Amino acid sequence: MPIVEVQDIWKTYRMGDQEVHALRDVSLAFEEGAYVAIMGPSGSGKSTLLNLLGCLDRPTSGSYLLSGEDVSDLSDDELSDIRSRRLGFIFQSYNLIPQLNVLENIEVPLYYQGLSEAESRERAEELAGEVGLTDRLAHKPAELSGGQQQRAAIARALANHPLVILADEPTGNLDSVTGEEILALIDDLHSRGRTIIMVTHDQSIAARASRIVHMSDGKAVSEER
């Protein structure tokens, strides 16, 4: 059974008297442990698709099955619970909370897991070590480089043992050397069995994935494996 599957997905926005179809009849399935890159020009629907997969939005029609469960019509609270317990996010802009230090940012998803304060702290420290931030635990985002902020974001994405990690242009704000370090971290996550779905406009980055889905005009038009 695929861990992620969308069936006949449409996403339509109304702008005045016009309807804009951001996604048009998209059907895709991703197996557990897959490493998938989603590519396409601006306006192709790739970010809209990622938002749907991340339960940040709902399809206008069609079904989204996450680990076999149809989550298409769940309430906002139910979708929020799924995001906090079953999905991990890596954003281009990091999306760290500026008032919190590295350790506290990593702990944020753990508040929903029912862990004790000591367990949460131990888990966050372990993850910080995995991404090379042991010596930056007390630093706030403004005191970190872009690469360090993205490392913290990756650690946070792993905190809830997610079914799927969703990455949106994860190296878009980084220089090439730092970007390569972050991509190596993502490669390592995949090698350890993580399911990764990544939006990128860069063919060389997409080539690291085991499958590439090309989007155009809201449709999945071709694939490479």
Mean pLDDT of the chain: 94
Q: Give the structural domain span for 176.
A: 4-224
Q: What is the pLDDT of residues 125-178, one digit of tens each?
A: 999 999 999 999 999 999 999 999 999 999 999 999 999 999 999 999 999 999
User: What's 159's domain CATH number?
Assistant: 3.40.50.300
The stretch 204-223 carries a mean pLDDT of: 96
* Cα–Cα distance for residue pair 152/56, rounded to 1 Å: 21
- What strand order describes the sheet that includes 4-15? 18-30, 4-15, 61-66, 69-70
Number of structural domains found in the chain: 1
Strand pairing category for 196-199 and 164-168: parallel
Residue 207 has pLDDT above 80, yes or no: yes
32's CB contacts (< 8 A; 6+ apart) are: 2, 3, 163, 195
Are 66 and 4 contacting, i.e. CB atoms less than 8 angstroms apart? Answer: yes
